[in-house]
């Protein structure tokens, strides 16, 4: 057992925190979220130039061959600065799925473009009726002469506005909830039969609901009936990334709140001198450390054996969800009225944490998933 | 002891219910049900209907144009209002519930004759100038100055969190008229029009992206001496009277009941695979826990209402109502957002100033906005921590 | 609506608090619980003399014809002094059941004796497999020439050691969980086929497990196939009584804890001066007031319409259970080490609250029961 | 970074497991499984077996007779011990885990040579004289005096919560040797036999009805100067060293895992109508929540163990371990009692000093006792509130 960062990990951390400190203050965030799509392609190019987009890609496609621990490093840094660029959707999920499910040819064709910042793919999986269940997919993909033709509805396709392509999880066979019979298909969002209803999300980013009505896929990733294991693995990786983002955001909130309570005067003293406030600051930190511990654990097993991977990812998501609730709410509360305003970063961290808590399954969902997996204690 | 409603109160409930059913305009009911914000003109229209019936100011005595209801009747009225999705005449709230009682209790005859009818008719909409950037929960430390100058006061300073200042034509304000004495003693209450020269209102956008809060700046604002309510230096007393009036309504018991009812409905309409969220035992456990909390709160509230009618001032219970009420408000709105799942994360601002979640059903509209805005429920009107300090004092003193 | 105590209620409260203040200090409790059975027949006679045992009995059997509100008054007073006499088992439950289910002749025969303190009956309902489900009764009562013959096992028959008679809930017909087919039977614990395994309970009182092997009942209360409605009603009344006892015990704990934190010095000041302790004291009180409000409500409808009665009783039991957990634990915690000792009353209130929380159904059970009943909000 | 156990650690785990399987006497294992209290002679017997293997003092360096394990190995050892229901050599605990490390770190060569082997062999059983009636969490305020008198100290005063004082033959004690200086500076640590004249032990019965705690009175107790550990006035430093040693073990991570495992088993054996408690979604939700809490605690614990092996002293994490550990201990024991339902309410004291619930299955025996006794988990070793004060100081100082 060794908790030390490798040289590579330490360098990555350095480069992330250095660049973000120079380029990603709250005012920058404000400018970015006023755009449509709400992020910067220049930033994206910089991420590509620094290699952050191809960290986890296989080396034979120009990637660095690193894993979930490094991706979590990116997540934590991005979370602490509220980075809005489409890393989760395009890199962790879509590129991750291409690496897991795509053929060698597909990998060589797409990964360098994604890693180089020239191609952004959004991932469409959720459907209104499935809540958080990954394999409950009603969207159908039918094989025809022209290729696979897709019909159905997807919701909350993160970063779809502005994406070059959309990857769709659709059913080629089997019952609505079956794990077998699922495939991954890549579409051009401008092609016929694809309509997007774009909207702003609660954290000032963008997503879209997607209606597919006979849309023809450009590409099917690997086996069109056996995508589920790759989707499950990529989702667990994405959970780790999200958890790390949550840890980063909570860490920023803990810092900002501590700084605020030490200067804010009420009743003739800084409110941070009140014991009740001190204990709340402690409880926030304890929650942060619990979330950090399980996120690191989940990252360390995310590239390993599926059962431990799934248990750890769900445990981390539950813990991060709970911690996010506590830390986010306490941060707003301790800031008082000013924490309720759009002017301060606090509220925006709070809303990003709400996304982190819910995306890819909320606390209840992952608590149940955790309980359904075999445990040495049960 | 008899804790059930008597025949008279039950009849009153029926009367209120029937009135709402017959007189609430269909378009207003529909907008409220779908959580759209009402246009000021819609609010005024509804205010006029209530006023015509004599119900515009439920808490006011008859001689000032109120219905002269008991506290219990007011509670019933409020409950029927919430359950029927009748909009609160929001703009009128500060006038009706806050400054109105101060004016008829402490104001001069001229002030009563001038202001009270205009509140009832909806001609005047009031906002409150209490909090300042440096004095949130510590109100006594406020710094806005009013200096006597002949027959006038000249006001300089700044207020914050002035709800709906941008839609109001009147303000009631706590100002420091004597900086030499003990902080609480040097405060006075002034009332004056918002179009008095020297007043600037700057919007504060809150985390729900809405605009109801403002900063209000006073630069050499000159108002006549007749703007003073009651005596100079007694502003603190009037403010405490007013906040005491607020503590009961701020618990939002009936509103939480209605929110919980809608949450149940939302859960029944939310598919989870082959079943609905309402079938989920964990989710049901959470709604049940809140329902029991709310039932306890309601029983405390009814007791406080009864005590008010008996002339008993139970400060301890009133503070507990505010404390628990705000926690329950947050519990219901949190769970409502949780119930929405992914649909809640879509959150657009519409032209009308409303927010909208495209993938969510009608019943869930407005829930995210409520959730976000009501993070403030444990901050405004005395934060939870301040409320606990106050309660500790009372309990240590033997309450 | 009128929250004022009637003159009768005010007098009852006076007489209870006066007598208990004079006769029921903690040292008295200690002496009583060292006895077997762990209570005093002299006290019981005093209760009888003051009319407390026949408060709720019908007037034509010498009772006072009062109701659940008055019984709750007794409960609260008894709870605040940890009164150990068998009021719940013998008066609220057994006498209550005789009044509800017994024939006129049975009422005239037994109620005056119970109300006069000359007859104490324990109530055997719980079975190991039924957890808290009232109607899940496996004990059988078979009609024979000799009368009803009972076989089965009962657990936690409160106050059975020392009782003159035992009232047994047994099945004459129907499925194991059916509400129909239940009867109430009165046995002499010394008769053949009855064996008691007596033990101490966690709150230093006594109960017994009961094995019935062909025991012949002396008496069957009313209809031997239709006792369930009476049992449900009496149980809801008993829930109200238990809740009131909990309120009394919590109220004593709040007082004792406040008094303690004001004198206990640590770090150079009374610990009650620490803001964190002050807020804990506040939270204890808030919990107490929530419990009090729902208990009073449940008492006020306990003699009324069954649905509201059941909802209110379950809501009160949930609230009292939660409040008891919070108040009991906080009281021990704020007392520190000394709160952990047998020497102080605090720990004994804590353990009585554990009984109150669990008897006749715990928090989860009543939360579920509440949820299963129709609600205007659901 | 590599957060999995390496081959060596895995082999170590197997070795420990095999040893317990082969050498733990069957009768002791059975008693532990059924939550019976072990007789002191049984404990001694097991202590001797461990000692023979060289495992009597897991944390001690090799040169003092310990196995020289890493912190991670100690964690693995502790986990195997808990999972196999191996009894903690409770009586030996104070000697092995507390005073032993103080003696080999700060004691004289004579003290080391005399005391350490006697701790390992089980010849000496120690108790701790720290707390006093007036100084619980505020240890620095202790009043027991030791006055130098020729070659001796004369001790007068009183200690409280002296665990197992009635079964111990040695005590290590904090005493005030200099009342003139700053409270922390005037404290020294003395070690002496419990049969020294002038010592009286009075039992304290705790709410679980057990007797493990005592009050210990000192009336002109005369002990030689050689009883002093290290330097006079440095007792506070040694105590902090010792309590730091305790903070890791006091979190009881492995023990909580074992308790949770047994709770799952109990739920499977508890009938609820036609099903079992383990099938109840609400109950399962509660056990799952605790299991996740515990997993987070374990991951923090492993990191602290690794840091200890790297010579990094992470005070913040150690305090969080104690804080969270004690909360989880209480959560598991609370839920265990809840699972027992009515069976937990029967609670008899047996002759042997054990408690017993007649209607409960074997697996549930001892659960009520644990629950009651472990209300103290958030009180001893620095109460939760004190721990939060300490953590606040560290965090405000930038930790």
pLDDT in tens, C200-257: 999 999 999 999 999 999 999 999 999 999 999 999 999 999 999 999 999 999 999 9
Contact D306 A377 (CB under 8 A): no
In a domain? residue B95: no
Contact B3 C297 (CB under 8 A): yes
Contacts of B346 in chain A (CB under 8 A): 156, 199-202, 207, 209
CA distance C104 to A234: 74
Q: Which residue in chain D has the smallest CA separation from C276?
A: D385
Contact B271 A355 (CB under 8 A): no
Is the predicted pLDDT of residue B21 greater than 90, yes or no?
Answer: yes
Q: What is the pLDDT of residues C257-300, one digit of tens each?
A: 999 999 999 888 999 999 999 999 999 999 999 999 999 999 99
Q: Which residue in chain B has the smallest CA separation from A209?
A: B359
**Cα distance from D367 to chain C (closest Cα, Å)?**
12
Contacts of C272 in chain B (CB under 8 A): 396
Q: Identify residues of A whose CB sits under 8 angstroms from chain D CBs.
A: 1-6, 9, 69, 258, 262, 272, 275, 278-279, 281-283, 285-286, 289-291, 293-294, 296-297, 300-301, 315, 318-319, 367-368, 370-371, 375-378
Q: What is the pLDDT of residues A279-308, one digit of tens each?
A: 999 999 999 999 999 999 999 999 999 999
Beta-bridge partner residues of D167: none
CA distance A124 to D370: 51
Asked whether residue B46 falls in the same domain as residue B174, the answer is: no
Asked whether residue B225 falls in the same domain as residue B263, the answer is: no
Contacts of B270 in chain A (CB under 8 A): 131
With 0-12 CB in 10 A as exposed, 13-18 as middle and 19+ as buried, what is A27?
Answer: exposed
Task: Identify which of C4, C290, C367 has the shortest CB distance to residue B288.
Answer: C367
Contacts of C275 in chain A (CB under 8 A): 274-276
* The domain boundary residue, chosen from B177, B201, B231: B231
In a domain? residue B112: no
Contacts of D289 in chain A (CB under 8 A): 318, 367
Q: What angle do CA B359, B365, B371 make, to 5 degrees?
A: 115
* The domain boundary residue, chosen from D231, D260, D280: D231
In a domain? residue D36: yes
For chain B, the domain total comes to 3
Asked whether residue D255 falls in the same domain as residue D188, the answer is: no
Mean pLDDT of chain A: 97
| CB proximity B279 to D under 8 Å | no
In a domain? residue D349: yes
Contacts of C276 in chain A (CB under 8 A): 275-276, 279
CA distance C377 to C315: 14
Contacts of B281 in chain D (CB under 8 A): 281-282
Contacts of D302 in chain A (CB under 8 A): 1
Whether domain C7-116 has CATH 1.10.540.10: the reply is yes
Note the pLDDT of residue A286: 98
| CB proximity B282 to D under 8 Å | yes
Distances (CA, A) of D57 to B370, C223, C290: 59, 69, 51
Confidence bin at B91 (pLDDT 50/70/90): low
Asked whether residue D312 falls in the same domain as residue D259, the answer is: yes
Backbone angles phi, psi at B223, to 5 degrees: -130, 150
CA distance C87 to C125: 17
**Cα distance from B391 to chain D (closest Cα, Å)?**
21
Task: Identify which of B285, B317, B320 has the shortest CB distance to residue C367.
Answer: B285
Task: Identify which of C130, C201, C364 has the shortest CB distance to residue D347.
Answer: C201
Q: Which residue in chain C has the smallest CA separation from A274?
A: C275
Segments of chain D assigned E as strands: 126-129, 145-149, 152-160, 170-176, 187-193, 199-205, 211-224, 271-272, 275-276, 348-349, 355-356
Contact C337 D380 (CB under 8 A): yes
CA proximity to C308, closest of C376, C214, C220, C208? C376
Asked whether residue D133 falls in the same domain as residue D224, the answer is: yes
**Cα distance from A267 to chain B (closest Cα, Å)?**
6
Asked whether residue D332 falls in the same domain as residue D289, the answer is: yes
Q: Find chains touching chain D: ≥3 CB pairs under 8 Å.
A: A, B, C
Contact B299 C297 (CB under 8 A): yes
Asked whether residue B225 falls in the same domain as residue B259, the answer is: no
Tell me the CATH number for domain A229-372: 1.20.140.10
Contacts of A275 in chain D (CB under 8 A): 389
In a domain? residue D93: no
How confident is the prediction along chain C (378 residues), in pLDDT tens digits per residue?
899 999 999 999 999 999 999 999 999 999 999 999 999 999 999 999 999 999 999 999 999 999 999 999 999 999 999 999 999 999 999 999 999 999 999 999 999 999 999 999 999 999 999 999 999 999 999 999 999 999 999 999 999 999 999 999 999 999 999 999 999 999 999 999 999 999 999 999 999 999 999 999 999 999 999 999 999 999 999 999 999 999 999 999 999 999 999 999 988 899 999 999 999 999 999 999 999 999 999 999 999 999 999 999 999 999 999 999 999 999 999 999 999 999 999 999 999 999 999 999 999 999 999 999 999 888
Q: What is the pLDDT of residues B223-277, one digit of tens each?
A: 999 999 999 999 999 998 888 777 678 899 999 999 999 999 999 999 998 999 9
Note the pLDDT of residue B31: 85
In a domain? residue B99: no
Cβ neighbours of residue D367 closer than 8 Å, sequence gap 6 or more: D35, D266, D333, D336, D337, D340, D344, D357, D360
Contacts of D288 in chain B (CB under 8 A): none
CA distance C341 to C338: 5
Task: Identify which of B342, B380, B383 has the shortest CB distance to residue A358.
Answer: B342
3-class secondary structure per residue, A346-369: HHHHHHHHHHHHHCCCCHHHHHHH
Contacts of B264 in chain C (CB under 8 A): 377-378
Percent of chain D with pLDDT over 70: 99
Cα atoms in the Cβ-side hemisphere of radius 13 Å centred on B117: 4
Beta-bridge partner residues of C121: C165
Q: Which residue in chain A has the smallest CA separation from C273?
A: A275
In a domain? residue B211: yes
Q: Which of A218-232, D111-125, D239-253 is predicted least confidently?
A: D239-253
Contacts of B291 in chain C (CB under 8 A): 370, 375, 377-378
Tell me the CATH number for domain A122-225: 2.40.110.10
Task: Identify which of B277, B342, B373 has the shortest CB distance to residue A155.
Answer: B342
Taken as a whole, chain A contains a residue count of 378
What's the CATH number where B336 sits?
1.20.140.10
- Among all chains, which residue has been given the structure tokens 């697996």? D363
ipTM: 0.96
Contacts of C133 in chain D (CB under 8 A): 273
Contact A128 B359 (CB under 8 A): yes
D contact test, residue of C336, C356, C371 with most D CBs within 10 A: C336
CA distance A233 to A310: 8
Contact D391 A282 (CB under 8 A): yes
Range of the domain at B307: 251-396
H/E stretch holding C309 reads helix C306-335
Asked whether residue D285 falls in the same domain as residue D206, the answer is: no
* The domain boundary residue, chosen from D59, D88, D117: D88
Asked whether residue D269 falls in the same domain as residue D389, the answer is: yes
CA distance C87 to B73: 40
Asked whether residue D369 falls in the same domain as residue D280, the answer is: yes
How many other β-carbons are positioned within 10 Å of the β-carbon of residue A328?
Answer: 27
- Quick check: helix, strand or coil at residue D223? strand
H/E stretch holding D17 reads helix D7-23
What's the CATH number where B146 sits?
2.40.110.10
With 0-12 CB in 10 A as exposed, 13-18 as middle and 19+ as buried, what is D159?
Answer: buried
Task: Identify which of A203, A337, A359 has the shortest CB distance to residue B379.
Answer: A337
Task: Identify which of C126, C136, C342 has the shortest CB distance to residue D205.
Answer: C342
CA distance B132 to B130: 7
B contact test, residue of C315, C365, C377 with most B CBs within 10 A: C377
Is the predicted pLDDT of residue B43 greater than 80, yes or no?
Answer: yes
Asked whether residue D265 falls in the same domain as residue D313, the answer is: yes
Contact B391 C318 (CB under 8 A): no
Asked whether residue B205 falls in the same domain as residue B256, the answer is: no
CA proximity to B166, closest of B65, B40, B57, B55? B40
3-class secondary structure per residue, chain B: CECCCCHHHHHHHHHHHHHHHHHCCHHHHHHHHCCCCCCHHHHHHHHHHHHHHCCCCCCCCHHHCCCCCCHHHHHHHHHHHHHCCCCCCHHHHHHHHHHHHHHHHHCCHHHHHHHHHHHHHCCCCEEEECCECCECCCHHHCCCEEEEECCEEEEEEEEECCCCHHHCCEEEEEEECCCCCCHHHHEEEEEEECCCCCEEEEEEEECCCCEEEEEEEEEEEEEEHHHECCCCCCHHHHHHHHHHHHHHHHCCHHHHHHHHHHHHHHHHHCEECCEEHHHCHHHHHHHHHHHHHHHHHHHHHHHHHHHHHCCCCCHHHHHHHHHHHHHHHHHHHHHHHHHHHHHHHECEECCCCCEECCCCCHHHCCHHHHHHHHHHHHCCCCCHHHHHHHHHHHHHCCC
Contact A333 B383 (CB under 8 A): yes
Task: Identify which of C129, C200, C347 has the shortest CB distance to residue D207.
Answer: C347
Would you kindly state where each structural domain of chain C is located, as residue ranges?
7-116, 122-225, 229-372
DSSP β-ladder status, C140-144 and C147-158: antiparallel
Tokens of B329: 């408000």
**Cα distance from C308 to chain D (closest Cα, Å)?**
25
CA distance D178 to D235: 11
In a domain? residue D48: yes
CB contacts < 8 Å between B and D, how many? 7
**Cα distance from C360 to chain D (closest Cα, Å)?**
9
- Quick check: helix, strand or coil at residue D190? strand
* Packing angle of the helix pair D253-269, D315-340 (nearest 10 deg): 20
Note the pLDDT of residue B140: 86
Q: Find chains touching chain A: ≥3 CB pairs under 8 Å.
A: B, C, D
**Cα distance from A50 to chain B (closest Cα, Å)?**
31
Is the predicted pLDDT of residue D379 greater than 80, yes or no?
Answer: yes
How confident is the prediction along chain A (378 residues), in pLDDT tens digits per residue?
899 999 999 999 999 999 999 999 999 999 999 999 999 999 999 999 999 999 999 999 999 999 999 999 999 999 999 999 999 999 999 999 999 999 999 999 999 999 999 999 999 999 999 999 999 999 999 999 999 999 999 999 999 999 999 999 999 999 999 999 999 999 999 999 999 999 999 999 999 999 999 999 999 999 999 999 999 999 999 999 999 999 999 999 999 999 999 999 988 899 999 999 999 999 999 999 999 999 999 999 999 999 999 999 999 999 999 999 999 999 999 999 999 999 999 999 999 999 999 999 999 999 999 999 999 888
Tokens of D69: 């394990």
Q: Identify residues of A whose CB sits under 8 angstroms from chain C CBs.
A: 274-276, 279
């Amino acid at each position: 057992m060794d908790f030390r960062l490798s040289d590579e990990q330490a360098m990555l951390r350095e480069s992330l925190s250095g660049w973000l400190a120079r380029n990603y203050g709250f005012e920058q965030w404000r400018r970015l979220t006023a755009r449509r799509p709400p992020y910067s392609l220049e930033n994206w190019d910089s991420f590509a130039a620094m290699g952050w987009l191809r960290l986890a890609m296989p080396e034979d496609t120009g990637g660095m061959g690193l894993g979930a621990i490094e991706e979590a490093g990116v997540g934590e840094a991005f979370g602490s600065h509220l980075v809005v660029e489409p890393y989760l959707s395009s890199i962790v999920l879509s590129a991750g799925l291409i690496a897991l499910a795509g053929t060698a040819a597909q990998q060589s064709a797409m990964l360098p473009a994604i890693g180089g910042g020239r191609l952004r793919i959004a991932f469409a999986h959720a459907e209104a009726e499935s809540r958080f269940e990954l394999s409950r997919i009603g969207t159908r993909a039918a094989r025809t002469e022209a290729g696979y033709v897709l019909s159905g509805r997807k919701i909350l396709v993160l970063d779809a506005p502005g994406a070059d392509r959309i990857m769709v999880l659709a059913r080629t066979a089997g019952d609505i909830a079956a794990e077998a019979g699922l495939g991954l298909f890549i579409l051009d969002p401008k092609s016929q039969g694809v309509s997007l209803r774009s909207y702003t999300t609660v954290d000032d980013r963008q997503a879209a609901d997607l209606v597919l009505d006979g849309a023809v896929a450009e590409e099917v990733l690997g086996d069109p009936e056996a995508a589920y294991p790759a989707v499950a693995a990529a989702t667990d990786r994405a959970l780790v990334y999200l958890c790390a983002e949550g840890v980063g955001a909570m860490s920023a909130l803990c810092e900002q709140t501590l700084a605020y309570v030490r200067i804010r005067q009420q009743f003739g003293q800084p409110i941070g001198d009140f014991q009740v406030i001190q204990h709340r600051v402690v409880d926030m930190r304890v929650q942060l450390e619990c979330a950090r511990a399980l996120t690191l654990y989940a990252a360390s097993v995310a590239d390993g054996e599926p059962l431990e991977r799934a248990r750890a990812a769900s445990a981390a998501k539950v813990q991060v969800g709970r911690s996010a609730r506590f830390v986010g709410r306490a941060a707003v509360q301790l800031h008082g009225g000013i924490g309720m305003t759009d002017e301060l970063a606090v509220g925006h961290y709070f809303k990003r944490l709400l996304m982190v808590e819910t995306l890819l399954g909320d606390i209840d969902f992952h608590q149940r998933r955790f309980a359904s997996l075999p445990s040495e204690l049960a | 002891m008899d804790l059930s409603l008597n025949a008279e109160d039950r009849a009153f409930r029926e009367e209120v219910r029937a009135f709402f059913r017959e007189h609430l305009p269909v378009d207003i009911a529909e907008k409220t049900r779908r959580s759209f914000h009402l246009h000021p003109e819609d609010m005024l229209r509804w205010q006029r209907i209530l006023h015509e019936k004599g119900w515009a100011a439920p808490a006011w005595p008859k001689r000032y144009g109120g219905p002269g209801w008991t506290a219990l009747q007011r509670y019933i009225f409020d409950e029927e209002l919430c359950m029927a999705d009748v909009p609160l005449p929001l703009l009128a709230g500060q006038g009706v519930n806050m400054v109105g009682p101060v004016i008829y209790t402490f104001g001069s005859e001229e002030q009563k004759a001038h202001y009270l009818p205009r509140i009832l008719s909806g001609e005047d909409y009031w906002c409150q100038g209490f909090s300042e950037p440096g004095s949130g929960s510590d109100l006594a430390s406020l710094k806005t100055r009013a200096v006597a100058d002949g027959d006038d006061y000249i006001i300089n300073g700044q207020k914050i969190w002035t709800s709906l200042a941008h839609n109001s034509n009147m303000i009631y304000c706590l100002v420091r008229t004597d900086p030499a004495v003990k902080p609480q003693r040097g405060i006075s209450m002034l009332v004056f029009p918002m179009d008095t020269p020297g007043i600037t209102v700057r919007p504060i956008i809150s985390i729900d992206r809405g605009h109801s809060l403002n900063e209000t700046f006073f630069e050499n604002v000159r108002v006549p001496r007749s703007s003073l309510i009651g005596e100079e230096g007694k502003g603190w007393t009037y403010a405490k009277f007013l906040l005491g009036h607020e503590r009961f309504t701020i618990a939002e018991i009936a509103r939480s009941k209605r929110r919980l009812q809608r949450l149940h409905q939302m859960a029944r309409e939310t598919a989870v695979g082959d079943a609905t969220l309402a079938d989920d035992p964990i989710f049901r456990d959470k709604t049940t826990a809140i329902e029991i909390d709310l039932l306890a709160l309601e029983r405390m509230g009814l007791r406080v209402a009864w005590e008010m009618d008996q002339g008993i001032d139970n400060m301890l219970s009133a503070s507990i109502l505010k404390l628990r009420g705000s926690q329950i408000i947050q519990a219901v709105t949190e769970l409502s957002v949780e119930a929405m799942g992914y649909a809640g994360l879509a959150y657009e601002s519409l032209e009308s100033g409303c927010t909208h979640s495209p993938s969510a059903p009608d019943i869930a509209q407005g829930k995210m906005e409520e959730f976000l805005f009501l993070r403030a429920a444990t901050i405004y009107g005395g934060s939870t921590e301040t409320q606990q300090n106050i309660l500790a004092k009372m309990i240590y003193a033997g309450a």
